[in-house]
Chains A and B, each alone.
Chain A
């Protein structure tokens, strides 16, 4: 990078796209007549190409993404919006804080099941959306259910039923781990045409309320429980298709 010292700053700014058109032309004109500066520019661009080659920029590990997600989740106020309209919340600032906290505690107990379901659904839809981002769809990518099933061994402490429905128009494309409701769950990924269906599975015997009529973001959620496992199918396919998917799966599950 041994160009003319008096041009070095402008040359760098040119390479960094920081010059307006007239200054850029001025520098270009100089470079056209100066071999040393032309070489210096090539050196800057070579260095850039090396630094921007694949793998130099680190990518946040999935474990970190789950922590960040949990941090956002933890600092999101859960019960409020549905229970207390904004107007009433403003009135609280006048009332004593102690009273507000007490009222909140009482009401929160009353509405717990409903907001738990709502935040769970937000988690599920967020998991589905994340899965559609590049490179997060599957950890194990295969259309072979016999490869997907053992992949979960040792990664989760339960065995999710892995069933292929390719012959019914729902081919399995892989599986991955996801993080829902503060636990690691199995996610099985199916395709329906160009749509993706995420089937989240974890062991849970507790009854869960029915899905909201209008889940966030226009996604369809179908939930069922079977054999001590809870299942949530999330997709942007229509509800009839997702119900059909559920029926087909259930028909092939060991009873």
Chain B
């Protein structure tokens, strides 16, 4: 069943067959590995490695699949290493999260080109719609009643994951990664005004969904 044992991932976490790849679910030319000196490598470890959790958290909330999230982060690391010599200080967290985010959108675009994206809505790239390149969340079919019975953490993940990606990313960057408006603007390559308005809409949607869940929970257990 396992493809010749070539995959380093233990069998119990092997992704479903249709998603399994030889090395990475990301295709396209990866940047050639640039040799860093030992000092630069040490600097990279000190500056960038501490943000691995942030990178994974963002990637996972964007793509909503653990195997893809790991590949996105790994790929971002390879790119970051290749471009590290040109990184002239500044905020390493914003820098690596920008790369992670770009890798996610690259991956999403590849999915669309491969025709694998399930079109959930008509083509529309506005903030509040799932754009046609966003991949349907196969794990969360999202009827409201599925919220009931989930653990609180599971329900929160499901609520975030139901937001359109442009709103999803700002809420993750602000509330989970605690980035400032300016940093979020930098990572998402958007004006600060857009960041604030997306943040506000994301919060409104989350608060409303949360209230609905609470109401349903109360209905289930009167």
Residues B2-29 near A (CB distance < 8 A): 8-10, 13
Q: How far is the CB of A71 from chain B (nearest CB, A)?
A: 5
A58 touches B200 (CB 8 A): no
Q: How far is the CB of B8 from chain A (nearest CB, A)?
A: 8
In angstroms, Cα B108 to Cα A250, docked, is 55
> Given A1-B203, A64-B52: A56 and B153 within 8 A (CB)?
yes
B70 touches A67 (CB 8 A): yes
**Is there a chain A Cβ closer than 8 Å to B149's Cβ?**
no
**Is there a chain A Cβ closer than 8 Å to B175's Cβ?**
yes
**Is there a chain A Cβ closer than 8 Å to B206's Cβ?**
yes
Mask: chain A, 38-69; 1 = CB below 8 Å from B; 0 = not: 00000110011011111111111101110110
Pick the contact of A68: B9, B34, B41, B77 (CB < 8 A): B77
**Is there a chain A Cβ closer than 8 Å to B171's Cβ?**
yes
**Is there a chain A Cβ closer than 8 Å to B49's Cβ?**
yes
Q: How many A-B residue pairs have CB under 8 A?
A: 126
B152 touches A65 (CB 8 A): no
> Given A16-B181, A48-B175, A72-B44: A67 and B74 within 8 A (CB)?
yes
Of all chain B residues, the one with the shortest Cβ separation from A77 is: B35
| A65: B residues at CB distance < 8 A | 52
| B92: A residues at CB distance < 8 A | none
| A126: B residues at CB distance < 8 A | 45
| B180: A residues at CB distance < 8 A | 16-18
A60 touches B181 (CB 8 A): no
A58 touches B56 (CB 8 A): yes
B196 touches A63 (CB 8 A): no
Q: How far is the CB of B53 from chain A (nearest CB, A)?
A: 5
A75 touches B57 (CB 8 A): no
B37 touches A12 (CB 8 A): no
What are 21 A-B residue pairs whose CB atoms fall within 8 Å in the complex?
A8-B200, A12-B200, A12-B203, A44-B207, A47-B175, A47-B203, A51-B156, A51-B206, A53-B152, A54-B153, A60-B73, A63-B9, A64-B56, A64-B70, A64-B74, A71-B74, A71-B78, A72-B45, A76-B37, A77-B38, A126-B45
> Given A51-B171, A77-B36: A58 and B61 within 8 A (CB)?
yes
> Given A1-B204, A9-B196, A48-B175: A68 and B36 within 8 A (CB)?
no
**Is there a chain A Cβ closer than 8 Å to B60's Cβ?**
yes
Chain B interface (Cβ < 8 Å from any Cβ of A): 8-10, 13, 33-38, 40-41, 44-45, 49, 52-53, 55-57, 60-61, 66, 69-70, 73-74, 77-78, 81-82, 152-153, 156-157, 160, 171, 174-177, 180-181, 196, 199-200, 203-204, 206-207, 210
In angstroms, Cα B210 to Cα A53, docked, is 14
| A16: B residues at CB distance < 8 A | 174, 180-181, 199
**Is there a chain B Cβ closer than 8 Å to A13's Cβ?**
yes
In angstroms, Cα B24 to Cα A67, docked, is 12
Chain A interface (Cβ < 8 Å from any Cβ of B): 1, 8-9, 12-13, 16-18, 43-44, 47-48, 50-61, 63-65, 67-68, 71-77, 80-81, 122, 126
In angstroms, Cα B41 to Cα A81, docked, is 13
Q: How far is the CB of B59 from chain A (nearest CB, A)?
A: 9
Pick the contact of A50: B33, B73, B152 (CB < 8 A): B152
Residue of B37, B157, B171 with highest tally of chain A CB at under 10 A: B37
In angstroms, Cα B39 to Cα A77, docked, is 10
Q: How far is the CB of A180 from chain B (nearest CB, A)?
A: 15
In angstroms, Cα B206 to Cα A145, docked, is 49
| B73: A residues at CB distance < 8 A | 60, 64, 68
In angstroms, Cα B183 to Cα A17, docked, is 13
Of all chain A residues, the one with the shortest Cβ separation from B34 is: A75
B70 touches A52 (CB 8 A): no
Additional pairs, 6, CB under 8 Å, beyond known A1-B207, A64-B52, A75-B81: A17-B180, A55-B153, A57-B53, A58-B69, A63-B9, A64-B74
> Given A18-B181, A72-B77: A59 and B53 within 8 A (CB)?
yes
In angstroms, Cα B156 to Cα A43, docked, is 15
In angstroms, Cα B199 to Cα A8, docked, is 12
| A64: B residues at CB distance < 8 A | 52, 56, 70, 73-74
Q: How far is the CB of B185 from chain A (nearest CB, A)?
A: 12
| B206: A residues at CB distance < 8 A | 47, 51
In angstroms, Cα B12 to Cα A63, docked, is 13
The 10 closest A-B pairs by CB, nearest first: A77-B35, A60-B56, A76-B41, A75-B33, A55-B153, A51-B175, A58-B57, A75-B81, A60-B52, A57-B176
